[in-house]
Amino acid sequence: MIDIFDPYNVALIGTIDTLGFARNLVKQGNTLYVACMDGGLYTLDVADPANPSYVSYMVFGGNKVWDVDTFGNYVFVATDAGVTSILASADGGGLMDFGANAYRSTFDGLQCWDVQVHGDIAYVAGGTDGFYTLNVRDPYNPVLLDHIPLAGPDLRNLDVEGQYAYLVDEDDVYIFDITNPSNLILHATEGGANLRDIDVEGELMYLSFGAGTGGFGTLNNSDPSNPDFQANIWFGSNITSIDVQGHHIYSVNYLGGAGPGLYCHDLIPDVFSPDYLGGRSDLSIFTNIHVDGDLTYCSDTDWLVVFGVTNPTNPSIVVYVDWNSAANYIKSYGTCTFGTNIINAAGPDGVHFLDGLDITPTFFTGTNYPDASSALKVTTHGDYTYVANQTSLIILRHFESPGDTYVSGGFTAESTTIDSVSELIHLATLNVNDYVPLYTNVDYYLSADGGAHWELVIPGVEHEFVYPGSDLQWRAELLGPNDRSVHIFDLSIDYFYNEDPSIPLLHDPGNVSTSSSVTVTWDASIDDASIAYYILEVDDVNTFATPIDTINVSGLSRTVTGFANGTYYFRVRAVDIWDLTSGWSNVVDITVEITPLEWWVYLIVGGGLVLVILIIVIVVRVRKRKTIATR
């Protein structure tokens, strides 16, 4: 997957390795189909192009898959054995019913008379509001990128070709540089008269002429800054719409009386002077034409007429699309196709989604979206229909393709044990590469105690467990209210588990102490965190069953006082900042031997010292009193 937003600085953003040799591919919506020779046909989800992910793959009995293409909700695969057609859709998805469940959004900040969508960008002819672009990567949240208002022009039709957008009003063609859709530049203006429609094909430009001057003009567009007029082809009375397919150009007349309503011209041998092949008379006032294969779909304000153009010299009538085969014709202002289906803009009657294989019987319930009450034109891109609704752009969903691997609602993804250690896990950082569309949500949790307690974490931020433990697991809670999914592409966890501090080495304090105090020292414990303190135990038996003293020590030594004669035992252990303790150290002992003389001297000297101090205090006090009495 290569980002070509800046054609001068293309960037590789994502890859995926498939079995076999990736030979050809086609994209539809968020789905990418890849012909992989011996590897078969791969279906990939490319909602986030930087992280393509597998949906499914098919093999065809050992036959190589050479090519793939789509036609609406069908996938056609070219193999050694021939061509295979596959009906494609998401699990439980497929074609959608506009009236019942076609999800919709609206951009109503500006007028919308015509729209084309390329990639993630919608290009809109905004009538008197000018020209603007929208980012529709998320069709439920179209975002205005740039808007060029033009004083005077009323832009009703447009075409997009390469890095340029071409818009027409009554008198002029406006050519915009759209290299950066967020920074539209008016590149050139080409004058005309009674202009109605435009179709640009590579270096060729065709313009249709309206009332009184029916026909179309041809221009050399090799230099979009200065299109070169070539010729005018005059016919009809008001050519409102044109469409080029292959080497034929098809057009319709706003006639409303006798004479051809559909015209067919051949661009061979001279693309600038097409030859008239044939037409079809029809009592219609056609406003739009859409050509797909051997059929032309011609919109009249009162009905939709389908002509067959297998033989362009003699077009044939196929059907006037009506309700219930009872001459109850539907309105049509513009139309497009999606495979074998027809999508019809019916003006005040909204938008119809029709079965193009059987369009005369009764319409099934819900095929009409009536809220698009000014539907003028429609176009499809991927799985969505874009409706030019005059005062707004309406986006409907008509298909759920396999790349949309969602199930709506709330769900939980949970790991099994990631790591089980004998020590305690206190710190962890969850790192995730995900794609969270608007209106969806995902919360991440970690547990250090095997799922007994789940703690909410923020991806990329170190988390200190309230409940440390020795069994690390993760959980994701995903929520999607409609047909958009959270995608989790990569997930990793950096975690810190605390090893036991090393056992400190207690130094021998000596064999005998003639003092009532003993100083004990030890070597520092080593720990992967840090040592908080040491626990020193003292007992008169080496079992330490009921120690006579337990002391918390912050350093590496402690002087213990108040010993009487006897043998005393010492041991020490380390405690780190996570309260994990080391084992007990080696045991050392010392014998305290204070002689009776020493005790007598101690008492006398000690008592005498106290007595002297008391005498001094008393004398001082007496003197103070005496001084005070004298005064």
The 10s digit of each residue's pLDDT in 455-513 is 999 999 999 999 999 999 999 998 876 556 787 888 899 988 777 889 999 999 999 99
Q: Given a cut of 70, is residue 620 above it in pLDDT?
A: no
Q: Which amino acid is at 46?
A: V
* C-beta of residue 557 within 8 angstroms of C-beta of residue 517: no
* C-beta of residue 176 within 8 angstroms of C-beta of residue 167: yes
**pTM for the model:** 0.73
Confidence of residue 326 (pLDDT cuts 50, 70, 90): low
Q: Which amino acid is at 556?
A: L
Which runs of consecutive H residues, i.e. helices, occur in 393-514? none
| Mean pLDDT confidence for 397-415 | 80
> What are the beta bridge partners of residue 134?
122, 144
Confidence of residue 619 (pLDDT cuts 50, 70, 90): very low
Which runs of consecutive H residues, i.e. helices, occur in 279-432? none
pLDDT of 484 reads 65
* φ/ψ (deg, to 5) at 514: -95, 10
CA–CA gap between residue 70 and residue 87 (Å, rounded): 10
Q: What Rg do the C-alpha atoms of the chain give, in angstroms?
A: 43
Q: Which amino acid is at 73?
A: N
* C-beta of residue 356 within 8 angstroms of C-beta of residue 348: no
Mean pLDDT for the chain overall: 87
Q: Which of 195, 307, 312, 304 is nearest to 246 (CA)?
A: 312
CB atoms within 10 A of CB 411: 14
Among 68-72, 142-146, 258-262, 469-473, which is the least confidently predicted range?
A: 258-262
Q: Which residues make Cβ contacts (< 8 Å) with residue 624, sequence separation at least 6?
A: none
3-state secondary structure of 216: strand
CA–CA gap between residue 578 and residue 555 (Å, rounded): 18
CB atoms within 10 A of CB 422: 8
| Mean pLDDT confidence for 180-194 | 94
Q: Which of 511, 568, 565, 517 is nearest to 541 (CA)?
A: 568
